[in-house]
Amino acid sequence: MSAAGDERWAPFPVQDWSTMPVDPLLGAAYAQHDPGVDPSWGPPASAGPTRPWWVPLVVLLCLGLVVGTGSWLARRAPQVRTTALSYVPADGAALWQRVDQTRESVTQTRTQVTESARFAGVDGLLSGDAFVVTRVLHQDYDDPSGSRLWRETTTSVDGAGVPSQTTRYHRVRGSVELAGERSADGTITAYEPALVELPADVGPGSKWFGTGTAGDTADYASFFQAAAGADGCLEVSGQVELTDRGAPQTKRRTWLTRTWCPGRGVVEASESEGADRTWETAVPAPDPGARRTTADDVAWTDPAAWKPRTWDTVTVDGTDETRTMLGTVATTVHPVLTSSGLVVRALQAPDDLVATTPKTIDAWTPAWSVHPGGTVLSLAAFGSVVLVTTSERALVAYSDAGMRLWSAALPEIGPNAPVRVSGDDAVVVDLSGRVLRFGIADGAVRWTGNVPGDVNLTPAAGSGVVVVADRRGTVTALDAASGATRWDRSFAASAVAVVGDRVLVTEDQNLDGLDPATGTTRFLTHFDGGLTALTGFAGRPVVASKEATLLLDADGRVTARLPGYLAVDPTATHLAGWTSDRLDVVGGDGRVAATWPTRSTSLVSSERPGLATPQGLYLFGYTKGWTFDSWTTGG
């Protein structure tokens, strides 16, 4: 024990000065310091003047101008390899854990999943959450191309199905340093300098400590030591003490243990503060359980009564302050609607999925965000399940509460979204031509099949078949129940669909209607102009081009001729048709029931810009970023 009246300063409480490590700057042990002489670096410095909140936003706007070249160069820059970085998970990795939390002698248990995202260069600085980025990562703006970040997003769902998420940003330029975190209640804490969790050359026997500021009102002091663990893992233990700047006598001391395993991050952990304790233990991915995989049909009564509006998308901090979302929305990946009413959108770098919901009378806000890994290629929503294909040759499923349900490896990338086969099943076709039928809720494989060539067109399903057009000029119909080939025919197809009891194939400017059982041609209909959409409406074929849109009967006869549309969105009662500057809503009789002007900047070439919902239509425009337009009954 230290002698009474010993007032030597240290960044953490000291029981016995003789056990203290060497002061790295003076080359002497603390025990050799005279009483009252502070260590060479002294107590934590003041955080200094607060930077105006708008300065980081201006910097981010400038960063956006160079995001293309900056990201390209950063991703190809050599990566530093250190012992510490060997413990950091790969981009898109997921870790499930059981959490036991004891407070006031009551223990509660839950399951959480933590997803990892790895960013090089400016990508990580363009995250959607403006509050976290500007408060936690502002030091990275000075050298955005040299930024190396690891983000952990931890998601759990309570008994009522309400999600909560915690986000942590680490700098990983050699050592692993915690730059800051956002807790489930929206509180953001930035550590300056970043709290070192693993020094670059960490190993058994390593000890390290640090001091700095923790948020706007506290200082931190940390001490950790490492020991060898099983299977190449590292056991790290220590403590973090927080001191209130306004009341230096007020201290919070948290004891920590962490088990770091190569390529997996922290697999087990514990925290104790007073009588409260939390344990986190790695567990296998849980059974996804029963999920709703269907949604009610979208039906409208009076589109002419809709009201046009423009919405912003904002992020909210713990004090309910709002800011516009950062980053660029990937509108080539079509937004989707869950059965609970969430609109899920894909974000370009950093390639997150963000589920949004109305927040105020003029703005939406994220309900959750997830990171499947790699680049998001396609999205689909089936009831309460969201499916995504990625450039990592993966198919990943999420619940509408943001929990990762399951993932499956694909032989090749899946450029197109999965297509429903039945109430519980869907099919996905990858670029190599492998066809996979699987359970939407649990990912269980029903069957796999193959077609002769590579595939880059969306498949179609219905009338007992799955129809796939490959790039070798063959259209193949597989039996939906078994995956066996029923028939194939030579077509240089530009699109396929199944509507009613007809398989539809477009080739050049002709639409072939085929028998689903045999592939025999039942009708041939010509259309003018370049094809923009092939779908069904009220059980009838619809073929849209830039010249005209044709509504057909089951025998291929034209029942209604409409203007040319760049994209169409069918519902149970109406067909929405989009031009470069207009929205038409067509009734079941083939007549235009309502027309609304649109801003041409809201459209992207022939990409489908709209999303049909029970309340009306949303239009997501490329040049408008997170802002979008709506024509709805009021919400």
3-state secondary structure 502-528: EEEEEECCEEEEECCCCCCEEEEEECC
pLDDT at 623: 59
pLDDT at 66: 42
If one compares 287 and 64, the residue with the highest pLDDT of the two is 287
Of 333, 339, 362, nearest to 354 by C-alpha is 333
How high is the mean pLDDT of the chain?
87
Close Cβ partners of 525 (under 8 Å, ≥ 6 residues apart): 510, 511, 513, 543, 550, 552, 556, 557, 558
- Pinpoint the residues of the chain covered by CATH 2.40.10.480: 451-523
- Residues 244, 253: Cα–Cα separation, whole Å: 12
If one compares 211 and 47, the residue with the highest pLDDT of the two is 211
pLDDT at 360: 86
- Residues 406, 415: Cα–Cα separation, whole Å: 19
Of 7-16, 298-307, 441-450, 468-477, the poorest mean pLDDT is in: 7-16
- Residues 337, 97: Cα–Cα separation, whole Å: 29
Report in angstroms the alpha-carbon separations of 464 from 420, 457, 512.
12, 20, 18
Whole-structure pTM value: 0.86
Instruction: Decide if 338 contacts 381 (C-beta within 8 A).
Output: yes
Of 77, 90, 101, nearest to 150 by C-alpha is 90
Does the bond joining 350 to the residue before it have cis omega, within 30 degrees of 0? yes
pLDDT tens, residue by residue, 116-145:
999 998 888 877 788 888 888 888 888 888
Of 528-537, 576-585, 594-603, the poorest mean pLDDT is in: 594-603
Q: How much is the average pLDDT of 411-427?
A: 97
**Top-ranked range on mean pLDDT: pick from 133-142, 155-164, 575-584, 614-623:** 575-584
Confidence of residue 246 (pLDDT cuts 50, 70, 90): confident
- Residue 613 tokens read as 């919902």
The share of the chain scoring above pLDDT 90, in percent, equals 71
Beta-bridged to residue 353, according to DSSP, are: 346, 370
Report in angstroms the alpha-carbon separations of 40 from 8, 33, 36, 44, 516.
12, 10, 12, 12, 82
Q: Which CATH fold topology does 451-523 show?
A: Thrombin, subunit H (2.40.10)
Residue 65 gets which letter from DSSP?
H
- Pinpoint the residues of the chain covered by CATH 2.40.360: 54-282
Radius of gyration of the chain (CA): 29
Q: Which CATH fold topology does 54-282 show?
A: YmcC-like fold (2.40.360)
Helical (H) or strand (E) element with 168: strand 163-171
Does the bond joining 193 to the residue before it have cis omega, within 30 degrees of 0? yes
pLDDT at 128: 72
